[in-house]
Structure formats: C-alpha cells, structure tokens
Amino acid sequence: MEKLNGLRCRECGRRYPATPVHVCEFCFGPLEVDYRYDVLKTVVTRESIAAGPPSMWRYRDLLPVEGDAAVGHHVGFTPLVRAQNLAEELGCREVWIKNDSVCHPSWSFKDRVVAVAVTKAKEFGFDTVACASTGNLANSVAAHAAEGRLKSYIFIPADLEQGKVLATLVYSPTLVAVHGTYDEVNRLCSEIADKYRWAFVNVNFRPYYSEGSKSYGFEIVEQLGWRAPGHIVVPCAGGSLITKIWKAIKEFKTLGLVDGPVATKMHAAQAAGCGPIVTMIKNDTDVLVPVKPNTIAKSLAIGNPADGYYAYKTTKESGGFGAHATDDEIVEGMLLLARTEGIFTETAGGVTVAAARKLIEAGVIQRTESVVICITGNGLKTPDALYERLEVHVKIKPSLSAFDRALADLKSHAV
C-alpha cells in the first residue's frame, strides 16, 4: 500500500519526497507528512484498528512508518478514565482523564513521538539520534535509543529537575547540560543538526516525530466509543501535541470512523510563567511574542514555541480557548487530581487540571458538556514541586501507646 504522498509545506503547499528534511526551501515553512486518504479509506476501518495490538501501533496505517515499528512496541493505548470524583469537584457532568502518566516505557506521551522518530531514523539508516529537551523527551529518546542500539546525544537546560536528569542518564546516552534556556538549547541543536548527520527527533525529524502525537487523539476517539468529545484541554510546550490531536480527529472524520458530528473545541493550557500561546489566544492575535520562562512546569517551559502559530490556529479553528495557571494553581491541580482520582501527574498535568477548572468556571466549557483533560506525564519525575508542600503526618516510636496518643492528638486537631 502506497499511503504517503511524501512531505508538504504547511505554508506554500510545495511537495517534497519523504526524506529527513523539515523546512521548505522556498518559503521556510515547516513540512508535514501528507497521506493518500483515498487509499487509506479503502483499508482503515474500525475493525482493522481493533484487530491491531493494544498500543499506538494499532494506528500504524495512519503513521509515517514503512514497515513495522523498530522500537517502542508497547507505547500508548493508555487508559481513558471516567473521572467521576474530579467531575463532582469541578461541577461538570462528564470529565475524562487521558492518562499518559503511565505511558510505557518512560511515563510520558513523548514515547509516542519518539517511537515514530527512532523507527524512522533506523529506516533512513542513521546510527545516532539526538534531541533538545525540556525533560520528558530526554528520557524517552535515551530509552528508545538504548532499545534500538543507536547512539544518542541529549541536550537539556542545566537547571532541569533531578528526577528528569536521572531518568535520562540511566539509559547511558551522552547527556549535554547547557547553561541556558530551552530556547537557547534548541537554537544550538539547529546548528549541530546542520553540521552532524544525526537524527534530531524534534529538528530534522520533526515532520515524522510530531505525527506520533496523533495516536493520543485517535485513542481518545476510539476509547470514547468512536465519538469525539465536546472539549479537550491540552498542555502546550512547543505547541505540537494540540495541533496533532486535532489533526487526528479530523483524519478519523475524513475516514468515516467517527459517529456523529465533530464539534470538539481544543483548549490550550500553559503556565502563567511561560504562556506565550495562551497569551496569543487571549489577545486574539496570530503574532507570538516570545517570553523568558519562569515556572515550575519545566516540561512546558518553551518561550518561543516552534508550533505556537499552529497551536493558536487550532484553538481558533475549533472554537476553543486557553488558560494560564500560576505555580500555586499548578500544585493545587496536581494535588486535586491525586486526591480525587488517585493519579499522580507531573507539573504539566497540574497546569492542565488548573486550566480546565478555570475554563469551566468561566463558562467556556459548559457544565453539561463532555471534556477530556490531557494528563501527559508522571508525577514521580517532578517530586521537587511538592517537597515543601507535603509532610508526614505522624512520627512515632514503634509502640501502640505512642500511636494511640498520636491518633487522639490528630482527632483533637481535626475540624
């Protein structure tokens, strides 16, 4: 089956063969994978998808890989949880959590994009993969490179959380900590990518890499029973995930796989300390003003997002909006999700929960409508955010009388 037309410029529409290129030579626009939907229509059905493996590769026909996955065979198909307790707290009828805090193998949705990028790197015969990362991408690239027996160079801002640094180093990549912001790391990586023949997953492999995020959107629709929700609240860093969830829903519609109308509103969630995309939405302008990040949500701390313009357009086109979350609101969001649903998410998830709450309170999301909140990473990687907030309640000697006294004490203090 010849399913790809190749790559296509998102701005001027010029076509390119499917090779490791990412910018248009004529207008410098970003390139995107272009599928032959007429061909796909004849082979992709609900049955063919359901007959696939319980992983993102059940959507393989809609991903830009030639053969089988080379790495990451168990990535994706994470739980979509009906969050009844959270719904009650938020005062909203139908709330779902798409839970990629348990995405295999590195506990964030980045495994989806990396599995595609590394498979592609092997197809194109690269022996080295690389990335600029705010943390989760570093973990995932290092893990998949190890599995694929490729060399890896990982570039991170030097002030990254210890948990994310460790969860990269354990896979034995070459880890380069750069004294600078993510945006400076990324600029450096563009220069390195020009000089060395490496597969930079989010630079020269970005057109392929970003397609992996579609699987998150496909899963939401399939797991809802082939239905598109009323709202999806998406955490934004570079702004790619939100655009690809939207693309996924539109592709399913094109292929006739969705029941009923598609009227999903896509909402962007960002930290107040690094929210250039949400600022565009609030100011209703397609001009992005870069910021210098200052937030505990480091995985979202991209001040000059590559897909910021397209993320803005996605919210506009779908009729969605956006919300900022302060550091305090981020921590409250993490604790709220943990307390109500038993799900421990990282700071990015705190941003999404806080943003969803604001959008509901503002009436942007109506209380009778269905909303999916995107939880994209695991809390055990960012314990730093909580160390000073949470404390052991009772410290005692190992005796029953000591516990009895402590319990009486606790009860007398309870309100």
Number of Cβ atoms within 10 Å of the Cβ of 98: 26
Taking the complex as a whole, how short is the minimal distance between the CB of residue 207 and ligand PLP, in angstroms?
Answer: 14
3-state DSSP assignment of residue 349: helix
Q: Which residues inside 252-291 make contact with ligand PLP, applying CB under 6 A?
A: none
Binding residue for Zn ion, selected from 5, 6, 29, 369, defined by CB under 5 A: 29
Taking the complex as a whole, how short is the minimal distance between the CB of residue 117 and ligand PLP, in angstroms?
Answer: 13
3-state DSSP assignment of residue 29: coil
Number of Cβ atoms within 10 Å of the Cβ of 398: 6
Strand 231-235 with 15-16, pairing: unpaired
Overall residue count recorded for the chain in this entry: 415
Q: Which residue, 25 or 409, has its beta carbon nearer to Zn ion?
A: 25
Q: Which does 11 bind (CB under 5 to 8 A by kind): ligand PLP, Zn ion, none?
A: Zn ion
Q: Which residue, 45 or 162, has its beta carbon nearer to ligand PLP?
A: 162
Options 18-26, 69-77, 230-238, 288-296: segment touching ligand PLP (CB under 6 A): 230-238
Our finding on whether 9 is near Zn ion (CB under 5 A) is: yes
Taking the complex as a whole, how short is the minimal distance between the CB of residue 14 and Zn ion, in angstroms?
Answer: 5
Our finding on whether 314 is near ligand PLP (CB under 6 A) is: no
Q: Which does 237 bind (CB under 5 to 8 A by kind): Zn ion, ligand PLP, none?
A: ligand PLP
Pairwise CA distance, residues 13 & 23, whole Å: 12
Binding residue for ligand PLP, selected from 55, 108, 295, 315, defined by CB under 6 A: 108
Options 33-41, 74-82, 215-223, 238-246: segment touching ligand PLP (CB under 6 A): 238-246
Token reading at 305? 């997002």
Upper half-sphere CA count for residue 180 (Cβ side, 13 Å)? 14
Q: Which does 27 bind (CB under 5 to 8 A by kind): Zn ion, ligand PLP, none?
A: Zn ion
Taking the complex as a whole, how short is the minimal distance between the CB of residue 369 and ligand PLP, in angstroms?
Answer: 23
Strand 174-178 with 231-235, pairing: unpaired
Q: Which residue, 110 or 144, has its beta carbon nearer to ligand PLP?
A: 110
Our finding on whether 76 is near ligand PLP (CB under 6 A) is: no
| H or E element, residue 114 | helix 110-123
Taking the complex as a whole, how short is the minimal distance between the CB of residue 394 and ligand PLP, in angstroms?
Answer: 33
Alpha helices (H) along 325-399: 327-341, 347-361
Closest CA to 323 of 278, 373, 368: 278
Q: Which does 276 bind (CB under 5 to 8 A by kind): ligand PLP, Zn ion, none?
A: none
Taking the complex as a whole, how short is the minimal distance between the CB of residue 234 and ligand PLP, in angstroms?
Answer: 8
Taking the complex as a whole, how short is the minimal distance between the CB of residue 5 and Zn ion, in angstroms?
Answer: 15
Q: Which residue, 100 or 341, has its beta carbon nearer to ligand PLP?
A: 100
Q: Which residue, 3 or 110, has its beta carbon nearer to ligand PLP?
A: 110
Taking the complex as a whole, how short is the minimal distance between the CB of residue 47 and ligand PLP, in angstroms?
Answer: 31
Q: Which does 348 bind (CB under 5 to 8 A by kind): Zn ion, ligand PLP, none?
A: ligand PLP
Our finding on whether 7 is near Zn ion (CB under 5 A) is: no
Q: Are 375 and 99 spatial neighbours (Cβ–Cβ below 8 Å)?
A: yes
Q: Are 10 and 30 spatial neighbours (Cβ–Cβ below 8 Å)?
A: yes
Taking the complex as a whole, how short is the minimal distance between the CB of residue 378 and ligand PLP, in angstroms?
Answer: 9
Taking the complex as a whole, how short is the minimal distance between the CB of residue 71 and ligand PLP, in angstroms?
Answer: 19
Q: Which does 24 bind (CB under 5 to 8 A by kind): Zn ion, ligand PLP, none?
A: Zn ion
Strand 15-16 with 4-9, pairing: antiparallel
Closest CA to 295 of 244, 239, 346, 359: 346
Binding residue for ligand PLP, selected from 78, 106, 136, 181, defined by CB under 6 A: 136
The DSSP 8-state label assigned to residue 107 in this structure reads S
Pairwise CA distance, residues 35 & 63, whole Å: 9
Q: Are 333 and 350 spatial neighbours (Cβ–Cβ below 8 Å)?
A: yes
Q: Are 350 and 297 spatial neighbours (Cβ–Cβ below 8 Å)?
A: yes
Pairwise CA distance, residues 171 & 139, whole Å: 8
Q: Which residues inside 343-362 make contact with ligand PLP, applying CB under 6 A?
A: 346, 348
Q: Are 58 and 243 spatial neighbours (Cβ–Cβ below 8 Å)?
A: no
Pairwise CA distance, residues 287 & 383, whole Å: 35
Pairwise CA distance, residues 208 & 119, whole Å: 10
Q: Site residues (CB under 6 A) for ligand PLP? A: 108, 110, 136, 235-241, 299-300, 346, 348, 376-377
Residues that bind Zn ion (CB under 5 A): 9, 11-12, 14, 24, 26-27, 29
